[in-house]
Amino acid sequence: MEHTSLLERILRGIALTLVVIFFMFPIVWILMMSFQTNETILRIPPQLVFKPTLANYTALITGKLTTAAGTLDIAFMRNLWNSVFLSVTSVAVALLLGVPAAYAFARHKFRGSEDIAFTLLSFRFAPALLVLLPLTLYFQKLGLANTYIGLIWVYQLICLPLILWIVRGYFEDIPADIEYAYRIAGHSWFATFRKIALPLAGPGIAAAGLLAFIFAWNNFVFALVLASADKQPVTVGALAFITSSGIQYGQISAAIVLSITPTLALALYAQRYLVEGLSLGAVKG
Amino acid sequence: MTAATMQRNRPSGVRISKKVLPYVLSLPALLVCIGILIPFFTSVVYSFQRYRLSQPWARQFNWGDNYISFFTDPRFWNTLEISLLYAGITVLLELLLGLGIAMLLQKRTTLNNFISIMLLMPLMTAPALAALMWKLMTNPGFGVLSYLASLIGLQDFRWASSPSTALFTVVLVDIWVYTPFIMILLLAGLRSLPTQPFEAAALDGVPRSFVFFRITLPMLTPYILTATLFRLLDSIQQFDIIYAMTQGGPGDTLTVFQVEAYLNFFQSTNVGRSAALMIILWAITYFLSNIFIKNWLRLRERARGQA
């Protein structure tokens, strides 16, 4: 394997450099734009050296934007809060519903178990709008339109299949004998689940939860269809941002940076589990 | 097998009946299933109706009319064509690129591991926000990519706002976001391959192209299939990137299935047509996902076996 020629190593180096530039450049560039004033952004050719300013971030955080035409209220912090709240609650609900179900699917073969598991999985791959468009009409009738509860319920479509299938794999990896031994010692089913199964599957549950969080955070279409401005997460809010007049490009960039930082940070933290999670438990990293 | 052994060894004195317990545990998941299935069947019903939100009084069953009218509707054929084209191009390019990058990073060095982690960042960026990032970079006024295009002689390259380059632009964004997905699955696949065949081939002095086509590719096939079908399923339903970038425009250049259904529902308030479009897309994805799940299960069993 080690007899690679010098030429080949140089070519590999060039190819890798190009790959890294292509995939990292947009993030670096937007990050740089977020520290620039509109004047430096609009300068041609684009500037690589500039005096960084935090003005874009302070405008977003205080929600007050001073322009030549006066002050403008921007509700970006509201969007950010919506994203945090919707993602955290959705994942919590999905864990509460999904982990016991995953345990049941892993440990008990019962009538219809595979059917439920596969229905959930197949809807992971069904077009979102197929379900969302009728739901908008139902939600209006039920009074769930533009409520957090309605949104959290719909977010289960993303979180639940993910958690169910990943955690199920982790439960299946626990040797059943450990659980029998504990049961034979006279402990109840619930105690076994809580004291043996849950701790052993802990890392898997945490990883599935983190991934579900990332997917919930990154979701766009659910909130676009079902939420209006005051309930919208950052993905939808940032889009409204770019079309509204008076907002400057530096602020849009800063909003994008604030919106993608949580998922990027979580992904770096949980990167060990990403391969397994992204393939819904089919590939081990 | 484990289930069978379990039936025999189950300790006595269970308070909740052992038959009922799994149902109790999975009941919430079951309820979510039902919650999904109800709107799904509602969509089926809508697709057989003449139903416009603007004319609720004229709502009635027209049976297959929504579907039949598609045959003579150039807008529908445009939707079908652009959806298949988009999915085909993105998945093919992402597969080639992802495989190439995975092979570059195959050796477990610190640098390679670091790069593979860095490349995850586009994948973890919300696709809608990724589209916004590229929108800022391709802005005709100040976008850095517009500037770079002008440097190589492409004056006034319009990116997503010109019908001739809109598809190219959204495909580029899709590649930026999703190539790392294929890359990371194939990298895991490559690194899990047994080393003996490769050592034997190197000892015998077998040419590298032969090793690649006769050893690497066949052994990697389950991973390639799973990654490709996974992407194909998502790509044919792409909404976020296209909607955030161009909202299906300019004109009807990029009205892929989900974007077209969204516009039908919210702009022309034609619920019937929108539902029929979604049912056709669902039929395509259902067909693909059946193939996918078969492959995915095989790979999953293999991964569990190694655990």
Contact residues, chain B, for A219 at CB < 8 Å: 126
Contact residues, chain A, for B104 at CB < 8 Å: 12, 15-16, 19
Q: Hey, which residues does B42 pair with through a beta bridge?
A: none
Residue B113 at interface with chain A, using a CB cutoff of 8 Å: no
Token duo for residue A192: 């076994």
Q: DSSP letters along A132-186, please?
A: HHHHHHHHHHHT-TT-HHHHHHHHHHHHHHHHHHHHHHHHHHS-HHHHHHHHHTT
Chain A: nearest CA to B164, how far in angstroms? 23
> What would the pLDDT profile of A111-154 be if each residue is shown by its tens digit?
777 777 777 777 778 888 988 888 888 888 888 888 899 899 88
Q: DSSP letters along B11-30, please?
A: -S--SS-TTTHHHHHHHHHH
CB contact under 8 A, A127 and B126: no
Chain A: nearest CA to B144, how far in angstroms? 6
Residue A128 at interface with chain B, using a CB cutoff of 8 Å: yes
Contact residues, chain B, for A214 at CB < 8 Å: 124
Torsional class of A76: left (φ above 0), alpha (ψ -120 to 50), beta (otherwise): alpha
Domains detected in chain A: 74-280 (1.10.3720.10)
Report the amino acid identity of residue A87. Answer: S
Residue B180 at interface with chain A, using a CB cutoff of 8 Å: yes
Chain A: nearest CA to B279, how far in angstroms? 7
Identify whether the C-beta of residue B6 lies closer than 8 Å to the C-beta of residue A107: yes
Report the amino acid identity of residue A253. Answer: S
First-to-last C-alpha distance (Å) of chain A: 23
Q: In this predicted structure, what is the pLDDT of residue B307?
A: 47
**Partner residue facing B188 (CB), from A169, A236, A275:** A275
- Tokens 């709502």 correspond to B59
User: SS3 of B60, please?
Assistant: strand
Report the amino acid identity of residue B283. Answer: A
Q: In this predicted structure, what is the pLDDT of residue A62?
A: 83
Q: In this predicted structure, what is the pLDDT of residue B12?
A: 46
CB contact under 8 A, B28 and A101: yes
Contact residues, chain A, for B239 at CB < 8 Å: 128-129, 220-221
CB contact under 8 A, A256 and B289: no
- Tokens 């004033």 correspond to A37
**Partner residue facing B188 (CB), from A96, A116, A283:** A283
Residue B291 at interface with chain A, using a CB cutoff of 8 Å: no
Report the amino acid identity of residue B33. Answer: C
CA A237/CA A82 separation, integer angstroms: 10
Residue B16 at interface with chain A, using a CB cutoff of 8 Å: yes
Q: In this predicted structure, what is the pLDDT of residue A91?
A: 95
Q: Hey, which residues does B50 pair with through a beta bridge?
A: B60
Residue B245 at interface with chain A, using a CB cutoff of 8 Å: no
**Partner residue facing B237 (CB), from A127, A217, A238:** A127
Residue B303 at interface with chain A, using a CB cutoff of 8 Å: yes
Report the alpha-carbon angle A49-A50-A51, nearest 5: 140
- B73-111 burial, b if ≥16 CB within 10 A, otherwise e? eeebebbbebbeebbebbbebbbebbbebbbbbbeeeee
CB contact under 8 A, A249 and B184: no
CA B86/CA B80 separation, integer angstroms: 10
- Tokens 């997503």 correspond to B160
Residue A279 at interface with chain B, using a CB cutoff of 8 Å: yes
Residue A264 at interface with chain B, using a CB cutoff of 8 Å: yes
Task: For chains A and B, count residue pairs whose Cβ atoms are closer than 8 Å.
Answer: 297
Chain B: nearest CA to A64, how far in angstroms? 22
Q: Which residues does B190 contact at the CB level (< 8 Å), separation at least 6?
A: B102, B103, B106, B216, B220
- Which regions in chain A score pLDDT beneath 70? 1-3, 66-70, 244-246, 285
**Partner residue facing A116 (CB), from B2, B30, B142:** B30
- Which regions in chain B score pLDDT beneath 50? 1-14, 307
Q: In this predicted structure, what is the pLDDT of residue A175?
A: 85
For chain A, what's the residue count? 285
The complex scores an ipTM of: 0.89
- B20-58 burial, b if ≥16 CB within 10 A, otherwise e? ebbbebbebbbebbebbeebbebbbebbbbbbbeeeeee
Q: In this predicted structure, what is the pLDDT of residue B95?
A: 95
Q: Hey, which residues does A183 pair with through a beta bridge?
A: none
Residue among B90, B224, B115 at smallest CA distance from A12: B115
**pTM of the model as a whole:** 0.88
Contact residues, chain B, for A125 at CB < 8 Å: 233-234, 285, 288-289, 292
Contact residues, chain B, for A236 at CB < 8 Å: 128
Q: In this predicted structure, what is the pLDDT of residue B16?
A: 59
**Partner residue facing A129 (CB), from B136, B278, B299:** B278
**Partner residue facing A238 (CB), from B129, B139, B189:** B129
**Partner residue facing B142 (CB), from A42, A214, A275:** A42
Residue B300 at interface with chain A, using a CB cutoff of 8 Å: yes
Phi, psi of A86 (to 5 degrees): -65, -45
Tell me which H or E stretch contains A102: helix A76-107
